[in-house]
């Protein structure tokens, strides 16, 4: 509840609009309101004009007549309701049948009094309406305040999550031949492709921030295999190929969206469109879209990077290779998106070179 003093001040200074076609009636209401200390009263004889003022000016309460020539009070109520302004409407009318009263409430009126009325009664009911309206405003302000705090916290939490992801991916890089720039480039390639696929903004962001974790499972691969300069034996390959499953286990079971996306990517980034990938041999759309996107970004960057066992391919050669893998390694839609995103991909490629 409001404090007594502030409530009285606020109530009496609340802006009130009187809509009534009868000049005498308007004058009576005006005098009565001023006699009772209300200081912000606007009157309008023309209901159509009143409606446009309601939209542009700020009123707490409207005292509304019903039988008016330009616009019936019910039509006024119907129109007003469309704007959802939260203004209380107090019907002051000569019509005293119950049907009219019920219809007015149905159309959104908050109070109803019939003429002739007792001044004290109208003022008391008007004051109560204003108190309710002021309290509602207070509550709404408080709710907005808490909402803003909550959204600040959400941003902080999201930043914390993406930092954890970056740090975890750095941990995996320490054990790998790949450099930190690999994950920067491939996550940006993934973002560009996801954007070209017109995925929702939230999904694009999840993919961008989760992509760096794709190889976190390599933490579980022995150094002798992971850092071996020469080609791997078949047995070593089998072990190497467990890194998606290990990554999926490291990140799996989270209720956090970003970690869930990272788990999905870690587990599926070596699946292939034609079903010849690993670890599950998923085929076509069985592969989550995040995995399909990361696959192309990861391979493209691996091709265009120097590794201890190979030279970097030229950008155009790698691009041609990607196109040749349509329907084999990569999804046709994702390759098309990769082509569409070529300007952004070129920019990332040039920007993040050692």
Q: Is 310 left (phi over 0), alpha (psi -120 to 50) or beta?
A: beta
Asked if 173 touches Fe ion (CB under 5 A), the answer is no
The distance of closest approach from Cβ of residue 232 to Fe ion in the complex, given in angstroms and rounded to an integer, is 14
Phi, psi of 189 (to 5 degrees): -60, -45
What x-and-dash track marks residues 282-301 binding Fe ion by CB under 5 A? Answer: ----------------x---
Q: Is 2 or 240 the residue whose CB approaches Fe ion more closely? A: 240
Closer to Fe ion by Cβ: residue 93 or 348? 348
Closest CA to 216 of 254, 181, 178, 271: 178
String of contacts with Fe ion for each residue 245-284, x by CB under 5 A: ----------------------------------------
Q: What whole-number distance in Å separates Cα of residue 67 and Cα of residue 101?
A: 13
Report CA torsion sign: 155, 161, 167, 170: negative
Residues 296-335, one symbol each (x = binds Fe ion by CB under 5 A, - = not), give --x-------------------------------------
Least separation, in Å, of the C-beta of 190 and Fe ion? 11
Q: Which of residues 102-141 bind Fe ion (CB under 5 A)?
A: none
Closer CB to Fe ion, residue 126 or residue 226? Answer: 226
- CB closer to Fe ion, 63 vs 246: 246
In the complex, least distance from residue 240 CB atom to Fe ion, rounded to whole angstroms:
9
- x/- site string to Fe ion, residues 64 to 93, per CB under 5 A? ------------------------------
How far apart are CB 266 and Fe ion at their closest, in Å?
8
Give me the helix-helix angle, 98-106 and 73-83, nearest 10°.
Answer: 20
**Tell me, what DSSP letter sits at residue 43?**
E
17, β-bridge pairs:
42, 62
Closest CA to 125 of 113, 115, 133, 137: 113
Residue pair 263/252 in contact (Cβ under 8 Å)? The answer is: yes
Nearer to Fe ion, 127 or 243 (CB): 243
Q: How far is the CB of 286 from Fe ion (least distance, A)?
A: 19
Among residues 20, 65, 215, 264, the one that binds Fe ion under rule CB under 5 A:
215
Contacts of 349 (CB under 8 A, 6+ apart): 185, 304, 315
Closest by alpha carbon to 86, among 108, 64, 112, 116? Answer: 108
Q: How far is the CB of 224 from Fe ion (least distance, A)?
A: 18
**Complete DSSP assignment for 258-317:** HHHHHHHHHHHTT--TTS--SSS---GGGS-HHHHHHHHHHHHHHHTS-BTTBPPPPHHH
Closest distance to Fe ion from the beta carbon of 182 (Å) = 6
Candidate ranges 39-47, 101-109, 131-139, 215-223; the one touching Fe ion (CB under 5 A): 215-223
Q: Which one of 19-27, 29-37, 122-130, 212-220 is the stretch in contact with Fe ion (CB under 5 A)?
A: 212-220
Nearest distance in Å: CB 270, Fe ion: 6
Residues that bind Fe ion (CB under 5 A): 215, 298
């Amino acid at each position: 509840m409001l404090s007594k003093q502030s409530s009285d001040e606020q109530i009496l200074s609340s802006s009130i609009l009187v809509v009534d076609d009868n000049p005498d009636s308007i004058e009576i209401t005006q005098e009565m309101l001023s006699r009772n200390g209300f200081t912000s009263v606007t009157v309008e004889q023309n209901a159509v004009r009143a409606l446009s003022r309601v939209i542009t000016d700020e009123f707490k309460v409207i005292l509304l007549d019903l039988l008016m020539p330009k616009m019936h009070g019910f039509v006024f109520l119907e129109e007003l309701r469309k704007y959802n302004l939260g203004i209380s409407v107090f019907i002051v009318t000569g019509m005293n049948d119950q049907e009219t009263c019920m219809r007015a409430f149905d159309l959104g009126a908050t109070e109803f009094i019939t003429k002739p009325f007792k001044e004290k009664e109208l003022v008391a009911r008007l004051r109560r309406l204003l108190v309710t309206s002021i309290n509602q405003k207070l509550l709404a302000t408080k709710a907005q305040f808490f909402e803003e705090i909550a959204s600040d916290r959400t941003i902080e939490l999201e930043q914390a999550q993406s930092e954890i992801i970056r740090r975890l991916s750095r941990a995996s890089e320490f054990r790998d031949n790949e450099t930190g720039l690999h994950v920067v480039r491939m996550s940006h390639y993934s973002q560009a492709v996801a954007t070209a696929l017109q995925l929702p903004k939230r999904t694009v962001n999840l993919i961008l921030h989760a992509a760096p974790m794709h190889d976190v499972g390599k933490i579980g691969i022995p150094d002798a295999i992971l850092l071996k300069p020469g080609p791997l034996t078949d047995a070593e390959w089998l072990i190497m190929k467990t890194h998606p499953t290990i990554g999926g286990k490291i990140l799996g079971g989270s209720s956090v969206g970003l970690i869930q996306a990272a788990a999905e990517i870690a587990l599926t980034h070596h699946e292939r469109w034609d079903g010849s990938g690993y670890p599950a041999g998923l085929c076509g759309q069985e592969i989550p879209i995040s995995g399909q996107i990361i696959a192309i970004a990861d391979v493209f960057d691996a091709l265009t990077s120097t590794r201890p066992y190979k030279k970097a391919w030229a950008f155009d050669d790698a691009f041609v290779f990607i196109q040749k893998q349509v329907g084999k390694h990569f999804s046709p839609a994702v390759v098309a998106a990769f082509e569409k995103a070529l300007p952004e991909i070129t920019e990332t490629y040039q920007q993040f070179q050692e």
